Chain A
Amino acid sequence: MTPTRRRAWPGLLILLSLLLAGCASDAELDTLQPRGESARDIDDLLDFVMIVAGVVLVLVVGVILWMGWRNRVSDYDDDDFPAQTHGNNALEILWTVVPAAIMAAVAVLTVIAHIALNETEANAIEVEVDGSATSWEPKVVVVGQQWWWEYRYYFDDDVTPEMLGDPKNLPPADIVTSGQMAIPAGQEIELLVTSRDVIHSYWIPALNGKRDARPGFFSPWKLAADEPGVFFGQCTEFCGVSHSRMRMQVVAMTDDDFQEWIDTQMTPAATPTDEAAVRGMEAFVANCASCHLIDGVNDDTYTGATTQSGSAPDLTHFASRTTFAGGILNTYNEDGSLNRDDLAAWIRDPAAVKDNVADGLGDGVAPRGMPNLGLSERTISDLISYLETLGPKPSAEIIAATEVE
């Protein structure tokens, strides 16, 4: 045997311990740092099984190493035979039954966790909607499309898939937003996850596992955050060319902040006064209104976008969100000023910032993603000035906490 062998096995063990140490690093998508009940249930289950699996692994590799060290010979002689054991039925039954028993124990824990994950509690909260107190069972309709997420809040009804119908033609919601889902902290939020084109997957690792967004169907899911905070996510079902750039966040708020968020989101956009912003609004109507909606501007004519999914982000409160372009760019700079550079780059040529299939298409082919509209620099600047008025601007803490790389 070459001496390499003896050195390399400890090497592997060192590597293994390094791997485990690597898990502890601070990562925004880490599944091992749960911040909500469901994610914690999953983590607890996994921790237990990881320990069992670790013991099995150490035993198996240990036996291999021990035998490799103990029973090794360099060559065979004719009469040098070990005992020719053909088997042992008692042992076989033992090591069929023992793993089966371990798996049965794991199965019980799994089923318990699985049931907990699929149960929803009745936890209606009081929110004020349009000045009147409403009892709301927290539920958000999550709609994926290439390559961004839309969230729809219906306060009047306990929404059901039957009521929602076709994901491509959903009934008007009280609040429509995108990229960042606002939720009250400490509450279980039910989700109905669907898609308007291909399959996507909604995943906020710190709060819960993922659920696929399946076109034509509404899959129930839930999440909850223990404390106010910002939690990152990433689409996890391959969904086309910008799959890697389809990101999202959940912003968990105190009840008061959440109520304030509802109030602002339910207000139509204010008419701008600044000259550039006024020109921007006109440019919006001329160039953007066939896809995007701004409540108070084109809501009377808007019938959906001309994109493949039939949708585009609702911009009514664009500047109240701190990310845009499917959660990959910051709306605000670190100092709190509007991120004009990235906004301009995005409007100028979206495909240069984030891959899409929106430009140079043949007749009758609907764009997927935002097309390059060929706008002049001045129009772009005006549009940005207008977008800035579509607030309110979030707090400095939120801007800092939601910053993406």
Chain B
Amino acid sequence: MAIIEQPLAIETSEAQLAERPLGSLTRPQGGNGWRDWLSSVDHKRIGIMYGVAAMFFFLVGGAEALLIRTQLAFPEQGFLSAQIYNEIYTMHGLTMVFLFVMPLAAAFANYLIPLQIGARDVAFPRLNALSFWVWLSGAVFINSSWLLGGGGADCGWFCYSPNSGVTFSPTHGVDFYAVGLLIIGTASIVSSLNLIVTVLNMRAPGMSLFRMPVLTWMLLVTQFLLAFALPVIVVALFLLLFDRVFDSQFFDPDAGADPLLWQHLFWIFGHPEVYIIILPSFGIISEIIPTFSRKPIFGYSFMVFSGIAIGFMGWGVWAHHMFVSGIGPISVAAFSLSTMFIAVPTGVKILNWLATMWGGKIKFTTAMLFSVGTVAMFTIGGLSGVTHALAPADTQQTDTYYIVAHFHYVIFGGGVLGLMGGAYFWWPKIFGHMLNERRGKIHFWLMIIGMNLTFGPMHVLGLQGMSRRIDTYSAGFGFDLWNLVATIGAYTIGLGVCYFLYNAWVSKREAKHLPAPGPDPWDARSLEWMVPSPTPEHNFDVIPTVESQDEWWYRKYGYDDNHKVVRIATVEEAAQKGDADDVHLPSPSFWPLVIAVGMPLIGYGVIFNLWLCVIGGILVAGSIYAWVLEPVDDPDAGHGHDDHHDDDGGDDPAMVGAGATDEGEGS
């Protein structure tokens, strides 16, 4: 019952202890061992796990990218066979979109949304854990096709029918694609609903919607996009799976189907997906740029509404992926125009970031460099996007490297760079120590030079007529030089990513000898900076009462009579100590993990042997029952630091905070 906005005092425990529905089901207790991560429902731990797993898959997808670029470095290379190449580029796309950028954004969403709105956790902590574990099981599942499926999917990430049918893709790769994305999609739908409820219902007193940080706003828009877009791809994937496993013939042209059905379904999901990928990054840099310009975000409400506008308009542009597919000229014209005009709210965002920096005091920390890099690189990607919104021009550009260049400038330039900036920005909050700034700047330059070397030349290659998804090319088309440059660039990015991991490792070791960063190392603006670093398990000692947008900044600064900014409190004075010892937190649970183990079993069953589905199904259904039947909380554990339940006869409701609504979480 997360709709209860105001915190409830926990009806205390003795009565519940006696009435445990099934005595055998007890909830695990919190702690700091590795097993406690498996049962954790803490949004911060789940966020960290999302981040770590996403970085792992970034390395996997990056290795695939390097294999692609090695193959294409020179004309007519046989480094990879055509079949292997097709599998690798497909898995590269899937990995980067579904296993890297989306979960990395989810990491930030999980970690930061409760903190930014002044809550102790998300609305449904166990569902949050379920989202993560199910996503991870889907991620492992889809990659297990290398070993079990006779290779990866070989149809491209949009997997057009009928090339995705059993006739044309006879290995199990596409089955793993369909089932894997179904599992991942389930996770994302659950997560999006959870976070929507969290933002709408769990905000601290006074945190009205239009006092929320822009990041929370952009993440909220993203969750709505996920909640509406993923069901579409889930439907499409079911149809594809039924076609392949049960010969249902939804997409078989020989049975009279129109292969455009798949394209429409895919892109109705697929285009909002683009905004799912970049809006979190837009939100992140909307936090970083004001902080390091020492100014509030320029045009807050325009930033918010342009984000919402992008969210809405993102639904009306999908067929621009299909300008040459054979849809009628009126459809083409309509989608061409709608696509052009989505540039307007996007442009508003860019100009507002510039206006935020205008006249500011700009401090180029690594996070700021990444953010400014995001603005510049996304501008390039956005402008090339306008050039293929022109349907006639798109007939030349689509399915060439010009498109590859475009979407990498958007996803890598607009998305990944921003997420990297976010990593530097919130690293001290998450891990309690800074990432080394000097190395961070080297990381930034490796990334931005690498990405421009890699994807910049692809514009030229595409306009020179190099098709996408070709495993090799002939000398004599003028492709040689720029492919080599792109390959050098890709290895530069690879070096940058390794350097980032090196920086993370060394920074942790160095941190022992450095002063702790304190709650607010950047002089930032939103609520997460008023709690200690790393964030204590219970987030806020006392749920803050919010009086303005940029609440934390206004707790530090005020204006004098001349409208000049003056400090009114030091960080030490304004920040919370993190020492509350009577905060009631949701209890851990293993059942999300068990459900997540059952789902891929059902998947393997669909592909290999339906009996496996029974085992997986029993696991999933049984876990759901156990989830329902396990006690709402274990009153002896998981109550923050040093919880003495015996002597807290009555929790102070204000101290319990919004995070304590786990009581009705499963209902």
**A→B interface (CB under 8 Å):** 1-2, 4-5, 8, 11-12, 15-16, 19, 22-23, 25-32, 39, 41-42, 45-46, 49-50, 53, 56-57, 60-61, 63-64, 67-68, 71-76, 78-88, 91-92, 95-96, 99-100, 103, 106-107, 110-111, 113-115, 117-118, 168, 193, 197-199, 201, 203, 205, 208-212, 214-217, 219, 232, 234-244, 308, 355, 368, 404-405
Contact = CB atoms under 8 A, between A and B. Distances in A.
A118 B329 contact: yes
Contacts of B254: 168, 215
A49 B387 contact: yes
B360 A71 contact: yes
A85 B445 contact: no
A111 B391 CA distance: 9
B359 A71 contact: yes
A212 B471 CA distance: 20
Contacts of B300: 86-87
Interface in B79-109: 81-83, 86
B470 A49 contact: no
Interface string B304-347: 00000000000000000000111001001100110011011001
B302 A92 contact: yes
A99 B347 contact: yes
A367 to B, nearest CB: 12
Contact of A57 (B167, B380, B456): B380
Question: How many residues of B sit at the interface, in one of the four size bands?
Answer: 35 or more
A42 B162 contact: no
B344 A103 contact: yes
Contacts of A88: 298-299, 355
A41 B352 CA distance: 35
B296 A86 contact: yes
A266 B295 CA distance: 77
Interface of B: 81-83, 86, 154-156, 160, 162-163, 167-168, 253-254, 256-260, 293-296, 298-302, 324-326, 329, 332-333, 336-337, 340-341, 343-344, 347-348, 350-352, 354-355, 357-364, 372, 375-376, 379-380, 383-384, 386-387, 389-400, 438, 441, 445, 448-449, 452-453, 456-457, 459-460, 463-479, 481-482, 523, 557, 559, 564-567
B523 A76 contact: yes
A95 to B, nearest CB: 5
Given A57-B380, A60-B379, A199-B163, A214 B259 contact: yes
Contacts of A23: 460, 463-464
B73 to A, nearest CB: 15
Nearest to A208: B395
Given A92-B299, A95-B347, A209-B392, A71 B357 contact: yes
Nearest to B332: A114
Contact of B391 (A27, A110, A219): A110
B329 A114 contact: yes
Given A29-B465, A198-B162, 10 more contacts: A79-B565, A81-B564, A84-B559, A87-B355, A91-B299, A92-B352, A107-B340, A212-B326, A234-B470, A238-B155
9 contacts: A8-B448, A19-B459, A63-B354, A72-B362, A111-B333, A205-B396, A209-B393, A235-B467, A243-B82
Contact of B360 (A22, A82, A91): A82
A81 B296 CA distance: 11
Given A63-B354, A68-B372, A76 B294 contact: yes
Contacts of B396: 31, 39, 42, 46, 205, 209-210
Given A23-B463, A76-B523, A114-B392, A53 B324 contact: no
Contacts of B453: 15
A96 B473 CA distance: 43
A240 B257 CA distance: 20
Given A74-B363, A82-B360, A308 B167 contact: yes
Q: Which 9 A-B pairs have the closest CB atoms?
A: A209-B395, A29-B465, A27-B478, A244-B470, A219-B326, A87-B299, A81-B565, A215-B253, A405-B474
